Structure 1
Amino acid sequence: MAFRLRVVPETTNFDFFRAQWLTFGGSMILTVVAIVAWIAMGLNFGIDFRGGTTIRTEATEPVDVGAYRDALSGLELGDVAVTEVFDPNFADDQYVAQVRIAPLDGQESVSPETIAQVEENLRQISPSITFPSVESVGPKVSGELIWKAVLAMVAASVGIMIYIWMRFEWQFAMGAVIAIVHDIFITIGIFAIFQIKFDLTIVAALLTILGYSVNDTVVVFDRLRENLLKYKTMPLKDVMNLSVNETLSRTIMTSGTTLMALGAMLIWGGDVIRGFTFAIFVGVLLGTYSSVFVAKNLVLFVGLDRSDKPKKSDKNEFANVDA
C-alpha cells in the first residue's frame, strides 16, 4: 500500500469565525499600524528611489565603519551612509560594505571625479579593498521610478478587481482587493518599522505578492460559489466555513512548499536578493492568512443576495471559466 503524507486531516471542521474579533479585527489593527508606521517613519529608499550613488566594497580586512566615515569626512559630499553587509555565504576573509552618497544640494549626481576620490581615500585605510559595483541614479529618474511603481501597484489591483468581479460577484471583488491591500500595506509597514532597504526589487516582490494572494483567495471563492449552489438553505457563515475547510489542505500544502523554497533562498541566497526574498516570504504568509481570515469575512459583512444566485450563474458567461 502506498504511503501518503497528510499535513492536514482529510476532513476538517474548524470554525474560522470563532475568534474573528481577534483574527479579522487584529488584521485591521495591524493594517492601520502599518500605515501609521509608513507615514511616521518613512521608508528606507534604496538608490533606485533616492538618487545618488551606491558603492559596494569588498576587502580582506574587517570593515571599520567609523574609519570609513572618517576617510570620507574631508570630502565635499552630501549625506554619506556606510553599512556593513553580512552574509553566511561570505568567505572567512571576505568583508563587504555599502557606501551610499547623496549628491550635494544643487547637483543631480555624484561626479566621476568625486567617486574616484572616495575610492582612493578608502584604499588608504584598507589596501586590499575593491569596488565590485558602483550604481548611480539621478533624482529625476528616481522620482519617475516611484511614480511608475505606484501606478504598477494600482493597475494590478484594479485588474484583479475587474477579474474577480466578472468571475464572481462585486462582493467577492471587494473582499479580494481589500485582502491583498491588507497584505501589501502590512508588508510595507514591516519594511518601514525595521528600515529595511526599499528598492525596485521590493516593488517586484509586492507585485508577486498580489498575484499569489489573489490565487489563494480565488481557490476559496471558487469552492464557496460551488457550495452556495449546492447548499442553498445553509447559513452563509456555515457555507464559508465548509468551503475553507475543504480547501485547507491545498492551501497549506501550496503555501508550505513555497515557504520552504523561500526560506532556503532567504538563508543561503545572499544579501543581494535577501530583501526581495524576505518581502515575498512575508507576503506569502500574509496572503495565506488573508485568504482564510480576511477575504471571506468581508464578503460575509457585506452579504450576498442568494435568492437569484442560480439565475445569475446561468447568465454569466464568465461563471464557468476555469481558475
Structure 2
Amino acid sequence: MKFIENRKKFFILSAAVILIGLLTMCYNAITQKGAFNQDIEFTGGSIVQINMERKLTPELRNELAEIVTEITGDTAPRITAAGDTGVIITTKRAEVAARKKLFDTIKEKYSLSDEIPLADSDVSASISDEIKLGALQAVVVGIILILIYITYRFKDYRFGMSAVAALVHDVLIMLAVYAVFRIPLNNSFIAGMLTIVGYSINDTIIVFDRIRENKGKMHADDAKIIDESVNQTLTRSINTSITTLIMIVLLYILGVQSVKQFAFPLIIGIAAGTYSSIFIASPLWYELRKLKRHSNKTTKPKTT
C-alpha cells in the first residue's frame, strides 16, 4: 500500500473528525449545554436508591431512565443494580422535591411497598479542579518526556515531533467522540486517556524502528522506505490491536457499568492509536523531512 502517496487523504480524514469535534464543543458551549457532558464526578449530583422488588433488567433500566429524564431533565442518568432487587439512580444535582417526585412516580408505576427510598442524598464532585489539573499536567509532562526519549533514541527530533503529534491526534479523536455523542465524561475517561497515551506510542515506535533499519539497508528515497517499513509492520500492528480490542470489547459487553465506562475510552483510543501509528505518524515524519530538504535548498548559497 502506498501510504505516502495517499497521505493527504489520511490527514484530511483526521482533520475532519477533529474539526467536527471542536465545532460540536463550541456549539454545545454556546447553547449552554457545556462543551462536554460532564458526569457527576465533575459536577456533583444526586443519588436515589430504591428497592424495586425485582431484578434490574435492560428493559427496566430503559424505563427508569425515561422517568428520570422526564422528571429531572438529566438525559444520561446512571442506573445500576444494588444487590438482587435494589437500584441506584445517579443523576445530575436535583432538588429534594424532584427526588421525592421521582421516588413517588416509580413507586406508583411499579406498585412498590417501600414507604421511603433506601437512600436519598446529594453528592459532591469527586474530581476536583486540582485532580483535573493534575491529569492535564500528567498528559503534558508525559508527552514532553516521550518527545525527549524518542528524539534521543532515534537521534532525530522529527521522529519525536511526529510521535507526539500522533499522540495529540489520538487524544483529540477521543475528545471529539465524547463531545459529538455526549458521552458522560468521568474519572474513567481520565484513566483511559492516560492509559492510551502510553499504549498508542508502542506501535509508532515499532514503525519508526523499522524505518531506521531500512534507511541503512535500502538505497531509496524516503517515500519508498516509509511505504516498505509500514507494510512490513502492518500485519503486526493490526493483529496486536485486534487481540487487545477483543478483550476490551468483551469487558465492555459483559462488564458492569463501571467497567464499561473504563473500557469504552480504551476502545476509542486503541482504534485511534492504531490508525495514527499507520497513517499519520510516518507521513508526518516524511513531511518534516521534506520541509527540511526544502529549507536547505532555499538557503543554499548560489555559486558563480
* Partner SS, residue 198 of structure 1: coil
- State which of 46, 51, 64 in structure 2 corresponds to 1:53: 46
CA shift digits 1:22-79 (9 cap, x unpaired): 2222112222222222333211111221133344656246444565578xx7xxxxx7
Do 1:240 and 1:296's aligned partners in 2 also have CA atoms closer than 8 Å? Answer: yes
CA distance in 1, matches of 2:202, 2:149: 12
Any residues of structure 2 matched to 1:196-211 within 5 Å, and which? 196-211=183-198
* Partner SS, residue 74 of structure 2: strand
Q: 1:98 to 1:86 in 2, by over 3 A?
A: closer
CA RMSD across the alignment:
3.5
Query: Which has more helix, going by share of residues?
Result: 2
TM-score, normalized by length of structure 2? Answer: 0.76
Do 2:203 and 2:237's aligned partners in 1 also have CA atoms closer than 8 Å? Answer: yes
Residue 288 (str. 1) matches residue 277 (str. 2): no
Report the Cα offset of residue 209 of structure 1: 1.0
CA distance in 2, matches of 1:35, 1:65: 29
CA shift digits 1:266-301 (9 cap, x unpaired): 111122222221111111111011001000111100
Q: 1:230 to 1:248 in 2, by over 3 A?
A: same
Do 2:38 and 2:184's aligned partners in 1 also have CA atoms closer than 8 Å? Answer: yes
Letter in 2 for 1:299: W
> Equivalent residue for 1:37?
24
> Equivalent residue for 1:160?
146
CA shift digits 1:252-272 (9 cap, x unpaired): 111110011111111111222
Do 1:83 and 1:98's aligned partners in 2 also have CA atoms closer than 8 Å? Answer: no
CA distance in 1, matches of 2:49, 2:139: 30
TM-score, normalized by length of structure 1? Answer: 0.72
Any residues of structure 2 matched to 1:182-201 within 5 Å, and which? 182-201=169-188
Q: 1:226 to 1:66 in 2, by over 3 A?
A: closer
Q: 1:186 to 1:228 in 2, by over 3 A?
A: same
Letter in 2 for 1:295: A
- State which of 150, 161, 175 in structure 1 corresponds to 2:162: 175
CA distance in 1, matches of 2:227, 2:94: 56
Q: 1:226 to 1:82 in 2, by over 3 A?
A: closer
Q: 1:302 to 1:116 in 2, by over 3 A?
A: closer
> Equivalent residue for 1:311?
none
Letter in 2 for 1:235: D
Report the Cα offset of residue 115 of structure 1: 11
- Structure 1 unaligned regions, length at least 5: 1-13, 74-78, 105-109, 307-323
> Equivalent residue for 1:17?
4
Report the Cα offset of residue 211 of structure 1: 1.1
CA distance in 2, matches of 1:133, 1:246: 59
Residue 142 (str. 1) matches residue 142 (str. 2): no
Do 2:46 and 2:123's aligned partners in 1 also have CA atoms closer than 8 Å? Answer: yes
Q: 1:223 to 1:44 in 2, by over 3 A?
A: same
Q: 1:254 to 1:64 in 2, by over 3 A?
A: closer
CA distance in 1, matches of 2:121, 2:195: 28
Q: 1:46 to 1:84 in 2, by over 3 A?
A: closer
> Equivalent residue for 2:203?
216
Report the Cα offset of residue 225 of structure 1: 0.9
How many percent identity over aligned positions?
A: 29
CA distance in 1, matches of 2:273, 2:246: 16
Residue 236 (str. 1) matches residue 222 (str. 2): yes
Do 1:54 and 1:98's aligned partners in 2 also have CA atoms closer than 8 Å? Answer: yes
Q: 1:30 to 1:83 in 2, by over 3 A?
A: closer
> Equivalent residue for 2:74?
81
Do 1:83 and 1:99's aligned partners in 2 also have CA atoms closer than 8 Å? Answer: no
* Partner SS, residue 145 of structure 2: helix
CA distance in 2, matches of 1:84, 1:51: 13
CA shift digits 1:129-172 (9 cap, x unpaired): 97589782248x63223222222221222222121111122101
Do 2:49 and 2:86's aligned partners in 1 also have CA atoms closer than 8 Å? Answer: no
Letter in 2 for 1:100: T
Letter in 1 for 2:223: K
Residue 102 (str. 1) matches residue 89 (str. 2): no
> Equivalent residue for 2:262?
276
